[in-house]
């Protein structure tokens, strides 16, 4: 580290620029690992039973995290993460009353120690699985898989995947965790000095889904939604594009309008002709045994079977049946170019959003792409030959010589020769949790 000489970034070629950035990221992870080990020792020397003789208390800090903040300028969140991961990495100190480290979390501490896993990534894995009880071999395999996934995922996506793994391993706890999240919800209306009122709130996943589908419908296409809409929507679409209000202002005005008119009033003027609804996706097997995760479209935390049953009782539900390959058999051949609303629902359930590698756009922001071009005379409008892509990646495929291909029930994107001379297919896996459950 001491011998590292920062390069003159402006003269680096593209590959050198990215390689230098990766090198620095690895160095930072190694430094952070050492920092976490030091933070754990600071916490140990500041443990509660030492009272005012503890290191933090002697130096006037209320907690070891406060001392770490003062010593390094870190945020409280970063200081807490350093302590937690440092304690995970360190061996148990004699005489400490701390709970012993779960042995199946060893791959996390090992990856942090060698610099391949960041502290933030380690913390999301630890936090998601810390309270899960079960067979240690199963838990160890799950942790190893998450550590491997961390190389390709952002911390946010890793956290979502870790929660999904947790819910797979601990089905019994889904309802309790759902209840805990719901108990954290709140909404405050805070008057401001200038006469405005600030809206501050925290939504549980189910509430967030209820609100998000409405706001997305009210602001589309201003927020990157699909361009191919019902002809009846064209006039509304143009009004939105010409509207002088900002997108957040349109979102707020739509919410207030909904409050005013209530569910019984006309809503087409601001959310469109097709009334938005929350989709809950689950397997028939899980419904039959009344156990297992329920996916609320657009959310990364599982809902309980009881929630699905309540929605079914309140508004009914539309079944989407998949064959053994995970491809629903809805086919309108060449008589119709555009995918039907029913097919779009099935694609949303199957794909879970844009399937271009690395994209996280939800189904509501996606367009249905024919992997065999309809214009060339032999493309079919069916689910097997359709895939969800966001507007950006849909245009990329059509305008920049990318291709989407299917091999059985698996989809791949093929880059142009200008990017990869060998044009090696890149997997485009489904982002739908329920599809992966069916496959397994």
CA distance 203 to 368: 30
Q: Output the pLDDT for position 334.
A: 42
Task: Give 388-413 as a DSSP string.
Answer: EEEHHHHHHHHHS--EEEEETTEEEE
Minimum mean pLDDT among 7-11, 37-41, 97-101, 341-345: which range?
A: 97-101
Structure tokens at 170: 């601990």
Closest among 84, 79, 111, 82 to 99, alpha carbons compared: 84
Phi, psi (degrees; rounded to nearest 5) at 359: -85, 145
Cis previous bond, 221, omega within 30: yes
**Average pLDDT estimate for 223-246:** 72
CA distance 81 to 64: 12
CA distance 15 to 95: 51
3-state secondary structure of 382: strand
The conformation of residue 50, written as its DSSP 8-state character, comes to G
Q: Output the pLDDT for position 318.
A: 65
3-state secondary structure of 330: coil
Q: How confident is the model at residue 324 (pLDDT cuts 50, 70, 90)?
A: low
Asked if 390 and 384 touch (Cβ cutoff 8 Å), the reply is no
Directed axis angle between helix 174-183 and helix 205-219, to 10°?
Answer: 70
Q: Label residue 53 exposed, middle or buried (CB < 10 Å: 0-12, 13-18, 19+).
A: exposed
Residues 407, 412, 416, 420: what is their CA dihedral angle, to the nearest 10 degrees? -100
3-state secondary structure of 318: coil
- Residues 172-226 have pLDDT tens digits of 999 999 999 999 999 998 988 888 899 999 999 999 998 988 888 888 766 666 6
Asked if 280 and 296 touch (Cβ cutoff 8 Å), the reply is yes
**Average pLDDT estimate for 391-411:** 90
The number of C-alpha atoms within 13 Å of 369 and in the hemisphere containing its C-beta is 28
**Average pLDDT estimate for 89-104:** 60
State the first-to-last Cα distance of the chain, in angstroms, to the nearest integer. 45
Minimum mean pLDDT among 124-128, 197-201, 240-244: which range?
A: 240-244
Task: Give 142-189 as a DSSP string.
Answer: HHHHHHHHTTTS-HHHHHHHHHHHHHHH-GGGHHHHHHHHHHT-EEEE
CA distance 116 to 7: 23
Q: Label residue 335 exposed, middle or buried (CB < 10 Å: 0-12, 13-18, 19+).
A: exposed
**Average pLDDT estimate for 416-434:** 90
Minimum mean pLDDT among 86-90, 283-287, 372-376: which range?
A: 372-376
Give the residue carrying structure tokens 């599809």.
435
Structure tokens at 427: 């997997």
Position 30 pLDDT exceeds 90: yes
Structure tokens at 97: 């009353």
Query: What is the percentage of the chain residues whose pLDDT exceeds 70?
Result: 82
3-state secondary structure of 296: strand
The 10 Å Cβ neighbour count of residue 114 is 12
Q: How confident is the model at residue 92 (pLDDT cuts 50, 70, 90)?
A: very low
- Residues 264-294 have pLDDT tens digits of 566 666 666 555 667 788 777 787 888 888 8
Q: What sign does the dihedral 430-149-155-184 (CA atoms) show?
A: positive
Q: How confident is the model at residue 372 (pLDDT cuts 50, 70, 90)?
A: confident
Task: Provide the mean pLDDT of the chain.
Answer: 83
Q: Output the pLDDT for position 167.
A: 92
**Average pLDDT estimate for 109-126:** 95
List 367's β-bridge partners, or say none: 389
Closest among 24, 61, 69 to 45, alpha carbons compared: 61
Q: Output the pLDDT for position 2.
A: 58
CA distance 281 to 206: 13
Minimum mean pLDDT among 159-163, 307-311, 325-329: which range?
A: 325-329
Q: How confident is the model at residue 411 (pLDDT cuts 50, 70, 90)?
A: very high
């Amino acid at each position: 580290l001491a011998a590292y000489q920062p390069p003159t970034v402006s003269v680096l070629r593209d590959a050198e620029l990215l390689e230098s950035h990766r090198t620095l990221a690895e160095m930072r992870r190694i430094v952070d690992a050492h920092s976490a080990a030091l933070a754990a020792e600071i916490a140990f020397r500041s443990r509660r039973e030492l009272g005012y003789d503890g290191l933090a208390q002697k130096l006037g800090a209320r907690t070891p995290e406060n001392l770490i903040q003062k010593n390094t300028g870190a945020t409280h969140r970063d200081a807490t993460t350093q302590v937690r991961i440092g304690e995970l990495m360190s061996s148990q100190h004699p005489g400490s009353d701390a709970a012993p480290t779960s042995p199946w979390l060893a791959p996390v501490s090992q990856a942090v120690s060698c610099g391949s896993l960041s502290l933030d990534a380690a913390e999301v894995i630890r936090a998601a699985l810390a309270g899960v009880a079960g067979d240690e071999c199963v838990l160890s395999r799950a942790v190893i898989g998450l550590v491997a996934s961390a190389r390709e995922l952002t911390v946010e996506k890793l956290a979502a995947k870790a929660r999904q793994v947790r819910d797979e391993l601990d089905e019994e706890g889904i309802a309790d965790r759902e209840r805990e999240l719901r108990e954290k919800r709140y909404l405050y209306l805070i008057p401001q000095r200038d006469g405005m009122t600030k809206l501050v709130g925290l939504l549980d996943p189910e509430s967030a889904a209820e609100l998000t589908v409405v706001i997305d419908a009210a602001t589309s296409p201003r927020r990157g939604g699909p361009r191919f809409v019902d002809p009846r929507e064209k006039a509304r679409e143009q009004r939105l594009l010409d509207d002088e209000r900002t997108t957040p202002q349109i979102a707020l005005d739509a919410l207030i309008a909904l409050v005013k008119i209530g569910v019984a009033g006309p809503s087409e003027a601001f959310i469109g002709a097709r009334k938005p609804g929350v989709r809950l996706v689950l397997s028939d097997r899980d419904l039959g045994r009344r156990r297992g995760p329920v996916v609320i479209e657009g959310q990364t935390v599982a809902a309980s079977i009881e929630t699905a049953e309540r929605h079914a009782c309140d508004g009914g539900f539309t079944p989407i049946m998949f064959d053994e390959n995970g491809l629903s058999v809805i086919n309108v051949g060449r008589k119709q170019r555009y995918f039907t609303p029913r097919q779009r629902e099935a694609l949303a359930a199957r794909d879970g959003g844009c399937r271009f590698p690395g994209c996280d756009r939800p189904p509501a922001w996606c367009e249905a792409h024919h992997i065999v071009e309809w214009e060339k005379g032999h493309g079919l409008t069916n689910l097997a030959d359709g895939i969800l892509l966001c507007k950006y990646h849909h245009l990329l495929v059509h305008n920049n010589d990318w291709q989407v291909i299917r091999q059985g029930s698996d989809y791949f994107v093929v880059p142009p020769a200008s990017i990869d001379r060998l044009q090696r297919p890149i997997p485009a896996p489904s982002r739908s949790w329920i599809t992966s459950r069916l496959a397994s």
